[in-house]
A = this chain, B = another copy of it.
Amino acid sequence: MKSVTEYLWFNTKQHREFINITDRVEDFVSRSDITDGFVLVSAMHITAGVYVNDAETGLIADIEEWLEQLAPYRPDYRHHATGESNGDAHLKSLLVHHEVIVPITDGKLDLGQWQQVYYAEFDGQRRKRVILKALGK
């Protein structure tokens, strides 16, 4: 059994950004020499998410608007008594989830035709990390 780990760093220009990281995960798996197994792609922060869906600009704008409806920015979250103002970012992270497992088959990400891996930043403009860990043979 092999296990390989790397970290991706992000420092987004915008407060919120959706970044397609499929190529970076694919490149990591290719260098890992693992031909069959799982790769975990997991945000190491509590105000960011990782999800799999479509790389279509209109849809991404729909997702952002939808997340704002279901987990809106509000000044009055209790969490803000700590001095933070990012309560909504925690809820958005819970909603899309902070991680995915992508299967590896024949040395490649075994994704469907339209599946892309996204890093969703909900409280950016600072250095943040995603862990990539592949396990397999």
Residues of A within 8 A of B (CB): 1, 3, 5, 36-38, 40, 42-46, 51-54, 56-59, 61-63, 66, 70-71, 77-82, 87, 90-91, 93-101, 103, 105, 110-115, 129, 131, 133, 135-137
> Contacts A5-B36, A36-B3, A135-B135 given: A100-B103 contact, CB under 8 Å?
no
CB neighbours (8 Å) of A58 from chain B are: 77-82
Chain A contact residues: helix, strand, loop or mixed: mixed
A54 to B103: give the CA distance in the assembly, Å. 26
Contact residue among B40, B53, B133 (Cβ-Cβ distance under 8 Å from A94): B53
- CB atoms of A3 and B100 under 8 A apart: no
Q: Are A115 and B46 in contact (CB under 8 A)?
A: yes
Contact of A87 with B103 at beta-carbon distance under 8 Å, contacts A46-B112, A110-B131 already known: no
Contact yes or no, B42 A101, CB < 8 A = yes
Q: Are B136 and A54 in contact, with the CB atoms below 8 A? A: no
A67 CB, min distance to chain B CBs, angstroms: 9
Pairwise interchain contact B45-A103, C-beta atoms closer than 8 A: no
Give the residue of B66, B70, B82, B115 whose beta carbon is less than 8 angstroms from that of A56: B82
